[in-house]
Structure 1
């Protein structure tokens, strides 16, 4: 064997020494894609699609129950909606991180390649700047959930052989994202043509500008507790640039998979199937009671109870015969709660209306007109911008209600219904600022139903609504409200020095440590 191997090595050496300068060219795959011949537009489209898919682990199963949009009776370790009881689940806690940095369909790597390939190419200027804006979509969610994360050195494994990226501080990340939004949005130019690869606005530069400044507004408001002066400055820049003006400006991605034929490719079905099965999480009593007590017209489209959960035909959407599930109970302890009916099983509680939300071609919301108007109302009360806080509040509530029709054409709330709601539930006014902040941000929480990442971030930022924490056995927070998720378990091994530096800087890697902007 050794002799044979020696002969093969010798022959190989002779062949290599006898090759001329064309050796490298001869060993190139003529069918392989190259950076020079590959359009970054394809990468941009894929990045939009993959980064917008429903993240069932972090967004649905953790943050939606964290903010008490959903609840479950399943016990710790045997269910998907981990956030209901503040317990740790490896897959769920790591989900957004792993999906973000997945080299094949995580979104961030594809987007980084699109940015680099379109750089310094005037004909691709709009695509380049749209990709820079989209990068903020990806990373602001990531840093909001974990705190310090890889950012400036992320996705450099191939280009710079950097497999151990540093964790940038959340402050540095936010400052850079705001600057990127300002520069990229300002450089969008309608005269340079649209971007046909854009699956959100079809390359409409005017809408992208509104989106960029609306996202800037969201990031600016995040800094309200930790750096109010910085927050104010960026809010003013966003408003001056021009934010969303109607529900038609909403930024969302609609998945093109109505039949489910491409589920393995799009991977957006995990979200849909998680909320459309026989035993998904149920609607939390917290949001159900908030909406029912106010005769909210959204409720009849949002929730349903099924006499036979396996049959869609048994659906009843009348809120009068429904109830939400209280958070923090299991199949045994729920029997001590006044809401429990011993003659029925757990399906006595309402779930989501599957015909509206559980659709393979449904939208994944990122930021909406209703949210923007509510943020502007708060900014007016804080004295950061001028305007009519009550009018903005009403626009925000109306926009959130109109948004349901984006999920399904049947979910139309009329102007008469909206006006009746606003009359019965008037704006509290600006005399008591704290009450106004509570009302505005509680409506924001309702507006973000099915967008758990954003709802959770704003609850931590604003402090509203005032949710009663859960103290389930073996929870991760000692019965206090969770402030973040844990880093992936392999980070202390694969990227030890940078992980340890982040933990030393930020605090213990657990659910109780606050991220930078979540100042106590």
Structure 2
């Protein structure tokens, strides 16, 4: 036994002395991801896909009904489209937050890893700076919906061992995002080659610059109420830099599963499941009447009546039977509304729903920011005197771009130039003499242009005040009948991140639907 022990000890000494120079190499984790053995571009691709998917809980079921583009007859806050009545639904209120921070499929963690792995590597410079721009897209939507959120310390637990990130103030987040955009755009360099893993623009640097400046314009406009001078400065910078110039610049992700064979992708894009199921929300009368009263050519592609929503064969697009559902009713109270036909056996399905052939396609686009939106923001900026240019021309471009955008959803949904010109002739720009009327017209069109992008529609309604929506005062609602300003933080945050959660609430205001975010100054 002593002899065996001596041999083992001797062998150990020989092994240690023989490999002393490679000790650090032996202690490296062979499974650890590094830029040398793992391409961070793959993480970037996944982040783009996951963070652009349809968020059915927050964007579709809360924000879209908040802005009265959808309505529902459900009344317990436990069904889809609960934002119709400002009631609280845990899953819906938490959805965007959870989808953002989910470590595997949330987008922000994958992106943070891509940033860490590509930073300070010249050959990955374009990837790194595109990821910085994408990070702004992710976080501006999050902070717009909740207010103060983890940002500067978020998703860094593996690298810093800080698993309870602070909630940055929304002001600090916005200032950081704008600075990050400016720096990242300036460092994009076409001579360094494309980022082939990019599923938005296939690595086209020129288009990424336009995307970055268009986001800068959106963020700058968001500050209009709270810091108008700051807003003006960033809007001017974005306009001078070069924003979208056609619908071909639109930023969107098209989900790559036309047949639905890949169930994992279908499940990830739960948006499609929500609008194509047997009991989807209906088109709000507010939105329906806005389109119909103006003879808007988008109406024929937007709505349809499915007297039996489980069967596509029951679809009817005859304008004579189309009507929007008023917000704020349930299965019982709707029967007393003049719009309800008690003799119709379809019941609540007598109201128009979304045209699923256009908006519920498994390979459909998820719009993030469009040319139409950008031109309408420029129209408002021109009315404010922040930029040079013809507000009427920007307005015309915005409406035209929004109508042309439908063909991105479905190739046959073409609105012709003649139809657009007829619409613009019948609904001309009101001019700049009465600025408030101009703001109302521009932002009402912006609201229409953001159909199916509830996060942006809700943010801009709060920012601009238009269109003027009549708040819903449904029993047991979260706002006492006032218009909602944000959503609640997830219920587990006071436990998982108690100190920082409490600091954010103390600083921002009560954690409820009524508290305004920083830029939503009263």
Identify the TM-score tier after normalising by the shorter chain.
over 0.9
Kindly indicate whether residue 226 of structure 2 is the aligned counterpart of residue 210 of structure 1. no
Query: How far off is 1:32 after superposition?
Result: 6.2
Return the match for 1:399 from 401, 407, 411: 401
Which position in structure 2 is the counterpart of 1:131? Answer: 131
Distance 2:29 2:218 in 1: 46
Which position in structure 2 is the counterpart of 1:448? Answer: 450
Which position in structure 2 is the counterpart of 1:257? Answer: 257
Moved more, 167-176 or 260-269: 260-269
Which position in structure 2 is the counterpart of 1:332? Answer: 332
Moved more, 330-339 or 314-323: 314-323
Distance 2:51 2:360 in 1: 19
Kindly indicate whether residue 120 of structure 2 is the aligned counterpart of residue 111 of structure 1. no
Return the match for 2:512 from 494, 510, 519: 510
Which position in structure 1 is the counterpart of 2:436? Answer: 434
Distance 1:297 1:319 in 2: 12
Kindly indicate whether residue 145 of structure 2 is the aligned counterpart of residue 181 of structure 1. no
Return the match for 1:347 from 346, 349, 352: 349
Distance 1:33 1:429 in 2: 57
Distance 1:33 1:212 in 2: 29
Distance 2:147 2:210 in 1: 27
- SS of 2:106 mapped into structure 1: coil
- 1:192-217 Cα offsets, whole Å, 9 max, x none, are 11110000001111111100000000
RMSD: 1.7
Query: How far off is 1:186 after superposition?
Result: 1.2
Query: How far off is 1:306 after superposition?
Result: 1.7
- Contact 2:266 2:362 (8 Å CA) reproduced: no
- Contact 2:118 2:128 (8 Å CA) reproduced: yes
Return the match for 1:486 from 485, 488, 507: 488
Query: How far off is 1:308 after superposition?
Result: 2.6
- 1:25-60 Cα offsets, whole Å, 9 max, x none, are 668775664453111110000000000011000000
Distance 1:192 1:48 in 2: 21
Distance 2:187 2:266 in 1: 31
Q: How many residue pairs were aligned?
A: 506
Distance 2:261 2:38 in 1: 27
Cα pair distance change 1:321/1:112, threshold 3 Å = same
Which position in structure 2 is the counterpart of 1:416? Answer: 418
- Contact 1:62 1:83 (8 Å CA) reproduced: yes
Distance 1:228 1:248 in 2: 31
- Contact 2:45 2:199 (8 Å CA) reproduced: yes
Query: How far off is 1:321 after superposition?
Result: 1.9
Q: Which runs of 4+ in 1 moved over 3 A?
A: 17-36, 265-268
Distance 1:415 1:327 in 2: 34
- 1:221-264 Cα offsets, whole Å, 9 max, x none, are 00000000000000000001000000000000001011223332
Any stretches of 5+ residues in structure 1 without a counterpart? 1-13
Distance 1:512 1:267 in 2: 32
Query: How far off is 1:445 after superposition?
Result: 0.2
Kindly indicate whether residue 378 of structure 2 is the aligned counterpart of residue 376 of structure 1. yes
Kindly indicate whether residue 138 of structure 2 is the aligned counterpart of residue 148 of structure 1. no
Distance 2:361 2:502 in 1: 42
Any stretches of 5+ residues in structure 2 without a counterpart? 1-8
- Contact 1:53 1:267 (8 Å CA) reproduced: no
Query: How far off is 1:23 after superposition?
Result: 8.3
TM-score by length of 1: 0.95
- SS of 1:43 mapped into structure 2: helix
